[in-house]
């Protein structure tokens, strides 16, 4: 038991070493393991189920907005990348190439997809002939490979899972509407399903997706003050259409290039989920995404065990029928105290305890992972009370994350003020920016922070650039980022 106890409690405190805390938690909670290939991870069932729950929720949202799923090849001919130079330059350092197959050298190198714009552009050129074929609204669930030099499980790996939406439209207005609609879909999903508050805005030119006309993002703050880009949506203009000859006859019977978009989120959302909500006890999972929402633990002396477990099984069936993701841990060789710590570490939102006295009184004890609050509720009202407590937990987790972000955000007027904030506190900084790439670069060189986006709704509107003092064109959120 001493070994088991160490497994539960041996987590580096966040204040001591946040990166070490993160690795400790994801390993001990059995979300992933390292593979023999550098930069690649194995998703263990609890980790993959988080992704499945995200995928299921997002997939329905995509379908509700008119999108359909398709699948495109993993291998992309090198010539495809040469058609859009800006795009390939953005990915070139990260591209792995296949040069031989079946014992023979290939006539043309094949890239393992870092993203699918080029392949999908090639196919859209075949499928789109008339304005009647538009819009094309397709999403793909897939894996992609970007050979990262520095990796961190879930947040930055050489291979990761994601979805990528690629759409084609008749005109700019429709394509831009799509771009912002999908940004709103991501915002709603991350805030209301993952309980993570985000800053929504437009990327600066230096941070745009390679080949895009405009890129929009949602940015989330981790508990170490760093940012994670939680989702992006890109208006591609006609750049890819021109490169891949995606043309159609318009309503006046004239040939036009289609306007395209792309948008995506990835398994880095799992890393963000952990870093936003976790604490020194381990994971803390919002109920909507948690693989297990309620863990049921029977307690009491051995002589009462059979009766208690029998009643737990009956209540389990009731919760299951109510659509609640619930598990029972009725192992007799592990103490209830060990189980309490174990499932707290794994982030299960609610614990249900039932003992002989509770049976006599017709009640159960519900314990919140987030607040530690204990509620005694009647067994005949259990499903409703559990659902209510899960809803309260979801809302409380969002509010707690929002308060943390607000407490660790600031507005500054000068680069010196920003340096002081980053040295003393870290977090998100809103500041004025004149639009100069040189000023943006200087911020990064002197503070380590990058522009995250130009928020649609900044807390304040800054009049002058924090670097040069000239008139500000934009109020920008800066932060150190993963």
Q: Specify whether the CB–CB gap between 429 and 422 falls below 8 A.
A: yes
Going by the DSSP 8-state scheme, the letter that residue 425 receives in this structure is T
Residues pairing with 156 in the sheet = 152
Written as six digits, the tokens of 317 are: 């069936």
Instruction: State the Cα–Cα distance between residues 428 and 478, nearest whole angstrom.
Output: 6
pLDDT of residue 476: 98
DSSP letter for each residue of 401-469: HHHHHHHTEEE-SSHHHHHHHHHHT-SEEEEEE-S-HHHHHHHHHHHS-EEEEEESS-SS--SB-TTT-
pLDDT of residue 225: 97
Q: Could you read off the pLDDT tens digit of each residue along the chain, which spans 482 residues?
A: 334 444 445 899 999 999 999 999 999 999 999 999 999 999 999 999 999 999 999 999 999 999 999 999 999 999 998 886 665 566 667 789 999 999 999 999 999 999 999 999 999 999 999 999 999 999 999 999 998 888 999 999 999 999 999 999 999 999 999 999 999 999 999 999 999 999 999 999 999 998 899 999 999 999 999 999 999 999 999 999 999 999 999 999 999 999 999 999 999 999 999 999 999 999 999 999 999 999 999 999 989 999 999 999 999 999 999 999 999 999 999 999 999 999 999 999 999 999 999 999 999 999 999 999 999 999 999 999 999 999 999 999 999 999 999 999 999 999 999 999 999 988 999 999 999 999 999 999 999 999 999 999 999 999 999 999 999 999 999 999 99
Cβ-in-10-Å burial (0-12, 13-18, 19+) of 466 comes to: buried
Q: Quick one: which of 294, 398, 282 has its CA closest to 348? A: 294
Distance of CA 190 to the CA centre of its chain: 7
Q: Quick one: which of 24, 27, 3 has its CA closest to 12? A: 24
Written as six digits, the tokens of 73 are: 């090849």
On the question of a cis peptide bond just before residue 350, with omega within 30 degrees of 0, the verdict is no
Other residues' Cβ atoms within 10 Å of the Cβ of residue 150: 6
Cα separations in angstroms, 482 against 92, 398, 465, 474? 20, 21, 25, 23
Angle between helices 172-192 and 45-64 (to 10 degrees): 140
pLDDT of residue 148: 85
Angle between helices 268-277 and 382-407 (to 10 degrees): 90
Terminal-to-terminal C-alpha distance of the chain: 38
Pairing of strands 214-221, 255-257: unpaired
Which three-class secondary structure state does DSSP give residue 246? coil
Cα separations in angstroms, 285 against 36, 229, 247? 29, 20, 47
- Answering whether pTM is above 0.85, one says yes
Buried b (16+ CB within 10 A) or exposed e, 266-293: bbbbbbbbbbbbbbeebbbbbbbbbbbb
Q: Specify whether the CB–CB gap between 166 and 70 falls below 8 A.
A: no
């Amino acid at each position: 038991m001493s070994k088991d106890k160490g497994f539960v409690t041996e987590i580096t405190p966040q204040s001591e070493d946040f990166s070490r805390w993160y690795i400790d938690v994801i390993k001990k909670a059995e979300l992933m393991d390292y593979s023999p290939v550098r930069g690649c991870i194995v998703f263990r069932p609890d980790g993959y189920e988080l992704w499945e729950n995200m995928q299921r929720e997002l997939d329905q949202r995509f379908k509700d907005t008119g999108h359909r799923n398709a699948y495109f090849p993993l291998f992309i001919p090198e010539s495809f990348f040469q058609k859009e130079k800006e795009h390939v330059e953005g990915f070139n350092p990260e591209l792995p190439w296949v040069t031989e197959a079946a014992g023979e050298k290939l006539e043309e190198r094949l890239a393992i997809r870092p993203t699918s714009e080029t392949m999908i552009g090639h196919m859209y050129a075949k499928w789109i002939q008339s304005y009647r074929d538009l819009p094309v609204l397709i999403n793909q669930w897939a894996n992609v490979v970007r050979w990262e030099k520095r990796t961190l499980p879930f947040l930055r790996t050489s291979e990761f899972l994601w979805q990528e939406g690629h759409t084609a439209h008749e005109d700019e207005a429709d394509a831009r509407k799509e771009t912002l609609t999908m940004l709103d879909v991501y915002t709603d999903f991350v805030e209301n399903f993952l309980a993570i508050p985000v800053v929504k805005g437009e990327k600066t030119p230096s941070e745009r997706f390679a080949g895009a006309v405009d890129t929009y993002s949602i940015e989330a703050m981790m508990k170490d003050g760093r940012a994670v880009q939680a989702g992006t949506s890109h208006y591609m203009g006609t750049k890819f259409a021109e490169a891949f000859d995606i043309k159609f006859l318009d309503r006046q019977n004239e040939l036009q290039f289609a306007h395209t978009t792309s948008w995506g989120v990835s398994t880095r959302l799992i890393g963000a989920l952990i870093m936003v909500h976790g604490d020194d006890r381990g994971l803390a999972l919002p109920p909507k995404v948690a693989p297990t929402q309620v863990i049921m633990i029977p307690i009491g002396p051995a002589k009462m065990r059979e009766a208690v477990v029998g009643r737990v099984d009956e209540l389990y069936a009731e919760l299951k029928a109510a659509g609640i993701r619930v598990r029972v841990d009725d192992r007799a060789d592990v103490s209830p105290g060990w189980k309490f710590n174990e499932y707290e570490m794994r982030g299960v939102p609610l614990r249900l305890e039932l003992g002989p006295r509770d049976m006599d009184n017709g009640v159960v004890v519900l314990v919140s992972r987030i607040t530690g609050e204990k509620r005694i509720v009647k067994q005949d009202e259990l499903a409703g009370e559990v659902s209510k407590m899960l809803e309260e937990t979801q809302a409380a987790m969002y509010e707690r994350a929002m308060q943390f972000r607000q407490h660790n955000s600031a507005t500054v007027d000068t680069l010196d003020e920003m340096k002081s904030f980053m040295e003393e506190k870290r977090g998100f900084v809103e500041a004025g920016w004149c639009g100069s790439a040189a000023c943006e670069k200087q911020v990064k060189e002197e503070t380590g922070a990058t522009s995250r986006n130009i928020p649609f709704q900044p807390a304040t509107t800054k009049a002058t650039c924090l670097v040069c003092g000239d008139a500000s064109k934009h109020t920008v959120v800066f932060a150190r980022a993963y």
